[in-house]
Amino acid sequence: GENVEQHPSTLSVQEGDSAVIKCTYSDSASNYFPWYKQELGKGPQLIIDIRSNVGEKKDQRIAVTLNKTAKHFSLHITETQPEDSAVYFCAASYASGGSYIPTFGRGTSLIVHP
Amino acid sequence: DGGITQSPKYLFRKEGQNVTLSCEQNLNHDAMYWYRQDPGQGLRLIYYSQIVNDFQKGDIAEGYSVSREKKESFPLTVTSAQKNPTAFYLCASSRPATNEKLFFGSGTQLSVL
């Protein structure tokens, strides 16, 4: 099955700095790569996703890059703000029997210091 | 408001007791999922269901059971066979035919007395 590794487990930055979270996956069949943000005591929410036919996608201060050959993808957050503090999960999935069953990384706790 | 609702928010289980976690969605989604979250472990799949009256085991199904009698509901029972049930449980739903995005509930924290 799919295996997703995520690094770092904890990331501490100053407000205004950039933050980068990296993930690798093992199954070349995976073709959908979402990122979820989880605030304390809440369920995760999708913040950005990318498909295997695209190398980069941006949405305001966040961007995701994908290198299919190396089987790794990254989340980039620029101009970080205290409200970006949360746990971020990457995932990899592919269609199987009409469903996408994502495999999640272990999460990165991002702390943005004012 | 459309969404996915989990209840209760906190639940306590006594030794040898079965407990049931509720998950309801009004998004008209076909697929529903249960994940277990432990500190530093990420999200691990317990069970998922693609349609009513059908469900599949995930990576850590032992000690859990589910049912899917209605499209809107996917309750999870933590049985006494689950020896380490303390965790944060997340329910999610999706409409995979059109969108792979998962919508999560706000979770249930289960603790053992």
pLDDT in tens, A32-81: 999 999 999 899 999 999 998 889 999 999 999 999 999 999 999 999 99
CB < 8 Å to B40, chain A: 9, 106-107
Give Cβ neighbours of residue B108 (< 8 Å, ≥ 6 apart). B6, B7, B8, B9, B10, B11, B21, B88, B89
In the beta sheet, which residues pair with residue B73?
Answer: B24, B70
Q: List chain A residues with CB under 8 Å of B100.
A: 32, 34, 49, 93, 100, 102
User: Phi and psi at residue A84, in whole multiples of 5°?
Assistant: -80, -10
Cβ density class B65-79: b for 16+ within 10 Å, e for less: bbebeebbebbbebe
pLDDT the model gives residue A54: 83
A73 forms bridges with which residues in the sheet? Answer: A23, A66
Q: Is B45 exposed, middle or buried (0-12, 13-18, 19+ CB in 10 A)?
A: buried
| Closest Cβ opposite residue A43 in set B45, B50, B105 | B105
Q: Report the gap between the CA of B82 and the closest CA in chain A (Å).
A: 22
Q: What is the mean pLDDT of each run of 10 residues along chain B (113 residues)?
A: 88 91 95 93 92 94 97 96 93 82 94 87
Place of tokens 């998922």: B48
Rounded Cα distance between B63 and B42, Å, is: 19
Partner residues linked to A99 by β-bridges: A96
How many CA atoms, within 13 angstroms, populate the side-chain half-sphere of residue B94?
Answer: 21
- Shortest distance between the Cα of B96 and any Cα of chain A, in A, equals 5
Return d(Cα B55, Cα B31) in angstroms, integer: 9
Q: Are A45 and B40 inside 8 Å of each other by CB?
A: no
pLDDT computed for residue B2 by the predictor: 66
What's the confidence (pLDDT) of residue B85? 93
